[in-house]
Structure 1
Amino acid sequence: MNSDTHAYDHDHEHEYDYVIVGGGTAGSVIAHRLTADPDVTVAVIEGGPSDVDRPDVLTLRRWMGLLGGDLDYDYPTTPQPRGNSHIRHSRARVLGGCSSHNTLISFKPLPSDWDEWEEAGAEGWHAAAMDPYYDKLLNNIVSVDEKDRNAIARDFVDAAQAALGVPRVEGFNEKPFHEGVGFFDLAYHPETNKRSSASVAYLHPIMDQRPNLRLMLETWAYRLEFDGTTARGVHVRTKDGEERLVTARREVVVCAGAVDTPRLLLHSGIGPKADLEKLGIPVVHDLPGVGENLLDHPESVIVWETHGPIPENSAMDSDAGLFVRRDPQSPGPDLMFHFYQIPFTDNPERLGYERPAHGVSMTPNIPKPRSRGRLYLTSADPEVKPALDFRYFTDEDDYDGRTLVDGIRLAREIAKTEPLAGWLKREVCPGPEVTDEEELSAYARQVAHTVYHPAGTCRMGAEGDELAVVAPDLKVRGLDGIRIADASVFPTIPAVNPMIGVLMVGEKAADLLRGDAR
């Protein structure tokens, strides 16, 4: 290490070139890329423990056991008059972030997703510019292995193709698609069912090899430190209760995700001035877009009882899915389904439905929802969780609600088509007697849940966009020495699962940081 970088000198014990807040999906990528230069020191502040030697985390098939557990920040949703007020938003408290906590379904965002960002003011983020970043990813992204392809999931793929006439897709990342059914690509190692998460791919190979990388685990960042309008560092608290300031010589990079990034900014006095003043938080910078534009992929569920147990082989119980384009004018799919080899009844049970002993479910999902929510603080105490008001199903034309009704109807078409039909004994919920548009809509919205894709709360935009929080170079507008790189910067939500998009944001962020440093 260069003698002029004092990362471990006693007087500069907590000073680094870059301080990354969040060792999650994007933070892991950026830490890996920046520390490739041995003269650059990086600290990663991660609120959770390491995932090393944690089979409960690293085994993909065990993902559902992580939800609501001690590695989950578990954020509640505010009351949703038109939706389900009981939705919990899991956010991972472990190295690797949500890539250590999710199903690792891996879709390169569609060209139309990136081009939509460019149209929204994110100059330089169009598909042609972003495509090369997919090829740089270090994760092991492969189609669900043959041994993991459950027989009923195979029959779902055949039935969907027969019922709807959509193409079968083998490798969703091979080329852009508008419709299709098939087994997903996953970031995993099929021979061991081990995750190829951001931490496994980007941090595990280097964490003991690069002395210029410091991982500060189980360390909570609760406030940014500013000198005027320049970010100087981050106030943190360790698991032992010790508080300290970790300072950055060059930049602070916030990668805490679509919930905790705006939360940190707001507690640091960056956000809508009136809201901050109402809570008694000193205003550092009036930035009205912080916490606005909260996006998600809501989905509903339709459940069937099967004639008995189904085979247990699976990568993670939801290995196949379907994309449909109802509107030929839509640039990409406008309805999506996960096929679960389990009866996914948590929310229906609240309405009185019973969980069958053996069953499966299809979950109609809205790829491009039109409802927009917001995240806001209810207290100046950083320990108090922020309020997440997704405003589910509040779009003016009820596009989101109608999408789920269409989804239930298409799911029923698939279910009565062989070879899937032979597995199914009866529809459990909503039940075949529920056919009226209004009844279906009420059911679909009441049992709606999330696939944990919050985004957009510090969105990227053009200079004249008052609600844009970051510019296309990811720098926070009106401030120096601070950037954001995570799903919070998404101007719009991709039609597909967003994890690969977050990894690609991390890769581009690393290029931007290294380019500026040069």
Structure 2
Amino acid sequence: MADKVDYIIVGGGSAGCVLANRLSENGKYSVCLLEAGPPDRNIWIHIPIGYGKTMFHKTLNWGFYTDPDPNMLGRKIYWPRGRTLGGSSSINGLIYIRGQKQDYDRWAGQGNPGWGWDDCLPYFRKLENNDLGPGPTRGTQGPLNASSIKTPHPLVEALIRAGDTLGLRRLQDFNTGDLEGVGYYQLTTRNGKRCSTAVAYLDPARGRPKLRIETDAQVMAVTMQGKRATGVRYRKGGTQRTLAANREVILSAGAIQSPQLLQLSGLGPAELLAEHGIPVVKDMSGVGKNLQDHLQIRLIYEVNKPITTNDQLRSLWGQARIGLQWLLFRGGPLAIGINQGAVFCRAMPESATPDIQFHFGTLSADMAGGDVHPFSGCTYSVCQLRPESRGEIRIRSADPFEAPSMQPNYLSAELDRRTAVAAVKYARRLAAAAPLSQLMEREYRPGPDVRSDDEILHFCREYGATIFHPSGTARMGPASDPGAVVDARLKVHGIDGLRVVDASIMPTLVSGNTNVPVVMVAERAADFILQDATGRNT
């Protein structure tokens, strides 16, 4: 292909792979997908439990750290981000969750027509192949698998029954728009292997003559002519190259690097750009602002029976057994991952819908992806679903290869602090409810000495970490909103030929994991782009 294509997609991650498939599907348009990382060939990408191996991988993971957060005792928080085809969908925890109906209705209510739950639902159905079968909110013909966990686990079964004593209904399907309850998560797996967007969307499209996929190709900036995006500059193999776009440049580099690229390209807060000697194409105060993330608080318990994944991983026999389960039957812990148990519930009395989420793990470690403890253990990982704290992404220099400043400002909002304390208390209530209580030997962390609200909050500040959902840094909103970066069709305000399609466009964080919502956003964006290409702007 020549050094000019119709569409350039920056970032081969959760959204970029979807766009590469859909934009090249009809064979009319030439498409180039640029991914900074390597192909997704590493075996640990494809084994579901393998994200413990990719969590700190020097090549497959950007391995970002936030700035010291004054709200978190001055700690820098590790932020893993996928750096390979499939992006973070190749290294994430595989949880298949859409969020709740009110999340999307809230987007629409903030001046984004066409983004309510009823508008998004057809795209959620389009993208999925759900093993629960067809239904009013489910799809079965899509590329992305939603697979149920088939083998019951005694700890999760006890969790479900304990939830019942707290008034939580057992749910099989958490994706109807109403997710309050307890049960097993569905996973983005297919026949015991990870179903990333690279597997689901990119693999079927690889042979198309007008689709070009370049890996190890890191974009440095969007090239501009006046107020129009004309292409990109990128580095591959140690050399700088330029690629032009006949129609559009689409940034799908994620909530950290999409705003970074906008700023490097002269689109961002004028004072920040001037500080680093970048000519201002358009003063856009919202680029990099509105950063939101789910803060993960992990309570760890010792279990009084050898039924945890810790027990299986600690012995050579246990490792061999689970390895054979996967090799022979594509089953067992390797095919599932770590977090099996789902809880969505209300910790705050004023909440009308679930405000916290649990990822209940059948193993324990000092941190996500760390070595398991030398005892039988489980983890109650809980997060606030709709935090009010807001952070920011800012370039540190004009060097495109320097990671930007990332300041999440966790727990800076009063509601977030109250919810974090209430979430820990709820986790303890859950662990103390029968029959789960009969399996809990002791609370390892934070431990029984942490009792008062101040002590619990200090624990949250000392041990809280990301649950990997940074969002909102190029948010969608009307042109009248000075903080909005893209419109309801995801076009950058005031700039022709440039869109952003990833988690950064979310006005507010969804009530759950972000991967499936990002796939939905990309499916919608592909329709917008193809409609605009043919003049069907509907």
The TM-score, its normalising length taken from structure 1, stands at: 0.92
**Match of 2:159, SS?**
helix
The aligned counterpart of 1:507 is 523
Separation in 2, partners of 1:289, 1:432: 44
Is the partner of 2:15 in helix, strand or coil? Answer: helix
Q: Is the counterpart of residue 233 in structure 1 residue 231 in structure 2? A: yes
Q: 1:458-482 CA deviation, whole Å, 9 max, x = no partner? A: 0000110001000111110111110
Compute the displacement of 1:39 (Å).
2.0
Q: Work out the CA distance in 2 between the residues paired with 1:417 and 1:79.
A: 37
Partners of 1:329 and 1:119 in 2: CA distance: 21
Task: Show the 5 A alignment for 1:146-185.
Answer: 146-147=150-151, 149-162=152-165, 164-173=166-175, 175-177=176-178, 179-185=180-186
Matched ranges for 1:440-479 at <5 A: 440-479=456-495
**Which of 92, 98, 110 is 1:102 aligned to?**
92
Distance 1:365 1:493 in 2: 12
1:392 is aligned, of 401, 410, 414, to 410
Which structure 1 segments of 5+ residues have no match? 1-7
Q: Cα deviations across residues 7-43 of structure 1 (Å, max 9, x unaligned)?
A: x2xxxx2210000001111111111111112121000
How many residues align? The count is 492
Structure 1: which 4+ aligned runs deviate by more than 4 Å? none
Which letter maps to 2:56? G
Matched-pair contact (CA < 8 Å) for 2:347–2:419: no
Alignment of 1:139-288 (within 5 A): 139-147=143-151, 149-162=152-165, 164-173=166-175, 175-177=176-178, 179-189=180-190, 191=191, 193-208=192-207, 210-238=208-236, 240-288=237-285
- Structure 2 counterpart of 1:110, which letter? Q
| Greater mean deviation of Cα atoms: 279-288 or 506-515 | 279-288
Task: Map 1:273-422; keep pairs closer than 5 Å.
Answer: 273-312=270-309, 313-314=332-333, 315-327=336-348, 330-346=351-367, 355-395=373-413, 398-422=414-438
Q: Residues 233-292 of structure 1: CA distance to partner in whole angstroms, max 9, x if unpaired?
A: 010101x21211011000001110000100111111110001110111121211111000
Aligned to 2:108, which of 118, 121, 139? 118
Q: How far off is 1:150 after superposition?
A: 2.4
Q: Partner residue of 2:328?
A: none
Q: Is the 8 A contact 1:338 1:364 kept in 2?
A: yes
Give the deviation of 1:154 after TM superposition.
1.9
How far did 1:357 drift?
A: 2.5
1:154 alignment partner, SS class: helix
SS in 2 for 1:205: helix
Q: Does the Cα contact within 8 Å between 2:149 and 2:187 map onto a contact in 1?
A: no
CA contact (8 A) 1:139 1:197 kept: no
Q: Secondary structure at the match of 1:372?
A: coil
Q: Distance in 1 between matches of 2:506 and 2:294?
A: 13
Q: Displacement, 1:325?
A: 2.1
Are 2:50 and 1:67 aligned? no
Query: 1:308 Cα shift?
Result: 4.5
Alpha-carbon distance change, 119 to 63 in structure 1, aligned in 2, over 3 angstroms? same
Call closer, same or farther: CA 1:57–1:452 in 2, change over 3 Å.
Answer: same
Give the residue type in structure 1 aligned to 2:281.
V
Moved more, 151-160 or 477-486: 151-160
Distance 2:179 2:361 in 1: 22
Q: Secondary structure at the match of 1:204?
A: helix
Q: Which ranges in structure 2 are unaligned for 5 or more consecutive residues?
A: 128-141, 310-331
Q: TM-score, normalised by structure 2?
A: 0.89
- State the distance in 1 between where 2:482 and 2:22 align: 32
2:445 matches 1:429? yes
- AA paired with 1:368? R
Q: 1:430 to 1:356 in 2, by over 3 A?
A: farther
Q: In 1, distance between residues paired with 2:352 and 2:226?
A: 44
**1:24 maps to 2:45:** no
Which digits, 9 at most, give the CA deviation of each residue in 1:350-369, with x for residues without a partner? xxxx9552211101210000
Question: Are the aligned partners of 2:168 and 2:181 in contact in 1 as well (CA < 8 Å)?
Answer: yes
Q: CA deviation at 1:439?
A: 0.6
For 2:43, the aligned partner's letter is P
Match in the other structure for 1:4: none
Query: Can you list the C-alpha shifts for 1:283-324, whole angstroms capped at 9, x where unaligned?
Result: 121111100000101121111112253244431110112111
Aligned partners of 2:210 and 2:5: how far apart in 1? 9
**Secondary structure of 2:531 counterpart:** helix
Structure 1 position 329, deviation (Å): 5.4
Task: Find the residue that maps to 1:146 and give its secondary structure.
Answer: coil
Over the aligned positions, Cα root-mean-square deviation in angstroms equals 1.7
8 A Cα contact 1:123 1:462, kept in partner: no
Give the superposition deviation at 1:494.
Answer: 0.4
Distance in 2, matches of 1:128 and 1:346, equals 38
Counterpart CA distance in 1 for 2:385 and 2:54 is 25
Name the structure 1 match of 2:139. Answer: none
Amino acid at match of 1:284: V
SS state at 1:295 partner: coil
Matches within 5 A, 1:36-47: 36-47=25-36
- 1:132 counterpart residue number: 122
Q: Is the Cα–Cα contact under 8 Å of residues 149 and 186 in structure 2 kept in the other structure?
A: no
Offset of 1:433 from its aligned partner? 2.2
Alpha-carbon contact 1:300-1:444 (below 8 Å) kept = yes
Residues 356 and 236 of structure 1: is their aligned pair in 2 closer, same or farther, counting only changes over 3 Å? same
2:314 maps to which residue?
A: none
**In 2, are the aligned partners of 1:109 and 1:500 still within 8 Å (CA)?**
no
The Cα of 1:178 is off from its aligned counterpart by: 5.1
